[in-house]
Amino acid sequence: MLVLTEAIPMKISLLALAIAPSTASQAQSTDWQSKASSAVLNQLKSTGEIELILKLNSPELKKITVSDRIEKIRNTVTQLKNHAAQSQKPLLDYLNDHNITYRSFWVSNHILVKAKTADIPGILQRKEVSQAFSNNPMGLTLPEVQKKNIEATSAIEWNVSQVNAPDVWALGFRGQNIILAGQDTGYQWDHPALINKYRGWDGQNADHNYNWHDAIDNPNIDCGTAPCDDNSHGSHTMGTMLGDDGGSNQIGVAPDAQWMGCRNMNQGDGTPDTYLECFQWFLEPTDLNDQNPDVAYAPHIINNSWGCPFSEGCVDETIVLRDAINNVVTAGIMVVVSAGNGGSGCNSITTPPAIYDKSFTIGSTTSADIISGFSSRGAVNIDGIEVIKPDVSAPGSSVRSANNNSGYTTKSGTSMAGPNVAAVAALVMSANSSLEGKPELVGKILTRTALPLTSAQSCNGVPGSEVPNNTFGWGRVDALEAVTFAQDLIYFDDFSR
């Protein structure tokens, strides 16, 4: 992989209730095997218990016309919860009656089930179930640290300058009033370059309620009630977004933004379940006890420097996370996703969520504005239609940022490129607050204003000499051009690519 639930409630206790016979009147589908992915069918060859994610029908969200960002999120959450409560009830009753443990999600209409293999056919026969996906964990391939001892720097990091962030700072826009979120290996919240940007820190006291969530139930490293990073990958990505120690370590693109975070991997092991949990929590953050949810704490932008590979429950079922991404974007939150490190061939962007239309997918460039050799390329196939990906590119080769030991390391990967773009989006929203809650419009601004870059590589009939192309997308993101354009933007309805 990349380096790159209140349905009820968010981390609902797994239920084990008395068995009750199901009624013969319940309509069932006998073709249960057609609903199961090859990974699920393979798991069923063994005995014992397995975890799988059941997909139910997706709601058609009503168009939300409110201009207030938080009200837009609240409206979306209400619709999603109502649909989940109604559509999941017959299946949840069945699971309760058969003493089958589960966790319900409303961010997408999914249910995580832990059951004996002998019980799976009966579950999949239920008419409420449309598909079943594996929830097996898989360790991600993390970028290697390129230097063990990184010398102190007295200058703004090269990637920050490359996207022209300092020119935007000079205009007075540094990401103020924007909340950047990340789901990753966790974050060292008290890192010198991160602590003063953490929303849960007031300069003297820490309050992790609504600012931190841990989706790992049985972690190898227990964070307790405060954010921690069990790898350093998460801290590195957050540092690129907004890190600044007030001295010589100016590593972040949007240093006046604030951050919140969710751990979605156990030392690099993630599952669709943990990714869904973080997305759901970002839509409606809770306190540390997973109680008292409040959409007012939701972020503007979520960075996702990870991917869900075939071996991690995304084989055959590449749509497993798509509903969640669609619903989060519909709610008005921008979802920035690293393209993956599977380059340099065509069609190497292959894993969710980079392959989704609503994901703003990011490729990686070098300091010379050349595509990084590892950066995955498009196109991707979305519902039978080939779509150009990535959307844009950004610095990802040899990026210096925070580690999880209060220090700094240099890493390479599209995981390093994505945070640059998430932070540039924060600068754009900071410069024009009317763009908050309009992620697709911000995405269009970033593509229109990117530095056009071409390639000798042509993929899927799209010449590399054209823009956009399947190597760079629309080009390398440019904060100054994007902010200048955003300031002049008045008639949103007339704006298009």
Better-scored residue on pLDDT, 127 or 67: 127
Q: Do 158-494 and 32-135 have the same topology in CATH?
A: no
Superfamily of segment(s) 158-494? Peptidase S8/S53 domain (3.40.50.200)
Residue 309 confidence (pLDDT):
64
What is the tens place of the pLDDT at every residue in 404-436?
999 999 999 999 999 999 999 999 999 999 999
Q: Is residue 124 over pLDDT 50?
A: yes
Residues 6+ apart with CB under 8 A from 2: 140, 141, 305, 306, 307, 338, 340, 341, 351, 354, 413, 414, 415
Q: What are the sequence ranges of the domains in the chain?
A: 32-135, 158-494
Please compute the mean of the pLDDT values over residues 293-308 and round it to a whole number.
Answer: 95
State the catalytic residues: 184, 233, 415
CATH number for 32-135: choose from 3.90.650.10, 3.40.1010.20, 3.20.20.70, 3.30.70.80.
3.30.70.80
Q: Is residue 26 over pLDDT 50?
A: no
Residues 6+ apart with CB under 8 A from 108: 55, 58, 276, 279, 321, 322, 323, 324, 327
The CA-CA-CA angle for residues 202, 205, 208, to 5°, reads 85
Q: Is residue 313 over pLDDT 90?
A: no
Q: Is residue 141 over pLDDT 80?
A: no
Residue 164 confidence (pLDDT):
98
| Six token digits for residue 25 | 């009147």
Average pLDDT value over all residues in the chain: 89
What is the tens place of the pLDDT at every residue in 346-360?
999 998 899 999 999
Rounded Cα distance, 180 and 190, in Å: 17
Q: Which pTM does this prediction carry? A: 0.91
